[in-house]
A and B are shown apart, each in its own frame.
Chain A
């Protein structure tokens, strides 16, 4: 999750894209997003304009504090997760793309 958010720290990402990349379900993903936002590690906003054919998305990205904390945390995790962060893909998706 942190790896996905760190992969493109300046760009805003929406919930389903993060869920797709991390393999997390909505019931797991959103509590994490809420906790990160509550602690000031992530900022959230709605899309500015109403797109045609779909509702406005809620967008997320790490704050500078969040990015620093996430980078620190990622240095302590396994090489596989680091590789995932570089690829910007979840382990599940990596396996599927390799297969």
Chain B
């Protein structure tokens, strides 16, 4: 007990150095009073209260909320990845996945900070950065849950070179997404803020639409022919919209860039808007769809849809073909899963970039005024100075 009390007092004493100067005296007061408190349990409780006072102050003043929230999310995902039935080869891959992605997500902000600066002070980029990280973490969580089901014996593909290669590519793609998220929300972004807002908003809407049109998001159990035809028509319209949206985002970004800019600059803005659009759409649809599969791994409707629509994407690896009827086809096996959404995650931003650049070649007459490059500053609640007294 005495040792514990000493240790706690030492921790509290050290914490004063981390506190803001205006709060240090309060922790020192708790320490000074501790000498008055009867020894043993009561003194320990007194010092514990001091720590309870110090820790939130340190977290607030040092901006530790985000690292702590990230650490909590990482712990939860690691716990999920570490659990699974014995003999499931997906666990090894999941564990490697989680460790690698946490290192990537924790390390990249330091690197991007040097190139593009810290996160912009406006509220929107902060929210986009948090949302992007949450989406990547949610994808890892859902993917590990799906792979636990997909790779359960006897469909054991784990340990194969193809499976590990697929994971390596998946991690590289995720690192690319993290770089895009961090760079676009930094203080010195690679494009105009409006460009990235247009791209991200278009892509998010597109991703939700793709998810709803796909049978993963919409329980397609149409009995009659008319609903099925309507759905087919909606699919065609959705595909057209999917092609047109990055073009429209590129055009809108070019218009926002203004007529005074060069054609190359406008094309660049269009390309980045398209890239953001494609990346946001792919991330949204991958997260939502993978989560749906994780929740309904044996759903008959999903199995039929997968066989009919995405089953043919499944590469011929191991026994994938033979298990396509017992599980959702394109998630049967690590490499098959990677081949499904990895393709979407890989192709969508590149296609969006190309379509966006193409869309940005608009006639100069339709372009708007030139706008600034920096993020708008966050509107903080002003601390109004009291009006000076007019004592006369």
**Residues on A facing B (Cβ under 8 Å):** 14-16, 19, 25-31, 33-34, 44, 46, 54-58
Q: How far is the CA of A15 from the CA of B37 in the complex (A)?
A: 10
Contact of A16 among B23, B26, B36, B48 (CB under 8 A): B36
Q: Which of B14-58 contact A (CB under 8 A)?
A: 23, 25-26, 28-33, 35-37, 45-50, 52-53
CA distance in complex: A73, B31 (Å): 31
Map CB proximity to A onto B117-158 as digits: 1 under 8 Å, 0 otherwise.
000000000000000000000000000000000000000000
B218-253 interface mask toward A, CB cutoff 8 Å, 1 = contact, 0 = none?
000000000000000000000000000000000000
In the complex, chain B residues whose CB is within 8 Å of the CB of A33: 26
Check B32 against A25 for contact (C-beta < 8 Å).
no
Q: What are 9 sample pairs from A and B whose C-beta atoms fall under 8 A apart?
A: A15-B29, A26-B48, A27-B52, A28-B49, A30-B50, A30-B53, A56-B32, A58-B25, A58-B32
Select which of B26, B33, B47, B48 is within 8 A of A14 by beta carbon: B33
* Residues in B neighbouring A28, C-beta threshold 8 A: 49
CB-defined contacts of A44 to chain B, threshold 8 Å: 25, 29
The minimal Cβ–Cβ distance linking B12 to chain A, given in whole angstroms, is 10
Known: A30-B50, A44-B29, A54-B32. 20 other contacts (CB 8 A): A15-B29, A15-B30, A16-B36, A19-B46, A25-B46, A25-B49, A26-B45, A26-B47, A26-B48, A27-B52, A30-B26, A30-B30, A30-B53, A44-B25, A55-B35, A56-B32, A57-B36, A58-B26, A58-B28, A58-B32
Q: What's the least CB distance linking A85 to chain B, in Å?
A: 23
Q: How far is the CA of A58 from the CA of B29 in the complex (A)?
A: 5
Chain A residues lying within 8 Å of B28, measured Cβ to Cβ, are: 58
Q: Establish whether residues B50 and A27, one from each chain, have CB atoms under 8 Å apart when the complex forms.
A: yes
In-complex Cβ contact of A30 among B32, B45, B49 (8 A): B49
B36 nearest in chain A by CB position: A16
Q: Chain A residues with Cβ under 8 A from B49's Cβ?
A: 25-30
Give A39 Cβ to nearest chain B Cβ, in Å. Answer: 14
Q: Do A31 and B33 contact each other (CB < 8 Å), given the known contacts A26-B46, A58-B25?
A: no
Contact at A25–B45, with CB atoms within 8 Å? yes
B386 to chain A minimum Cβ distance, whole angstroms, is 13
Q: If the complex has contacts A44-B25, A58-B29, are A26 and B35 also in contact, measured as CB distance less than 8 A?
A: no
Does A27 lie within 8 Å of B53, measured CB to CB? yes
Q: A15-B29, A15-B30 are in contact. Are A54 and B50 (CB under 8 A)?
A: no
Closest to B32 in A: A55
Sorted nearest first, the 6 A-B pairs with minimum C-beta distance are A27-B49, A26-B49, A58-B29, A27-B52, A55-B32, A16-B33
Kindly state the separation between the CA atoms of A44 and B48 in the bound complex, as whole angstroms. 22
CB distance from B22 to the nearest CB of A (A): 9
Tell me the chain B residues, 260-286 only, with Cβ under 8 Å from chain A: none
A34 contact from B26, B35, B48, Cβ within 8 A: B26
Q: Output the least CB separation between A53 and chain B (Å).
A: 9
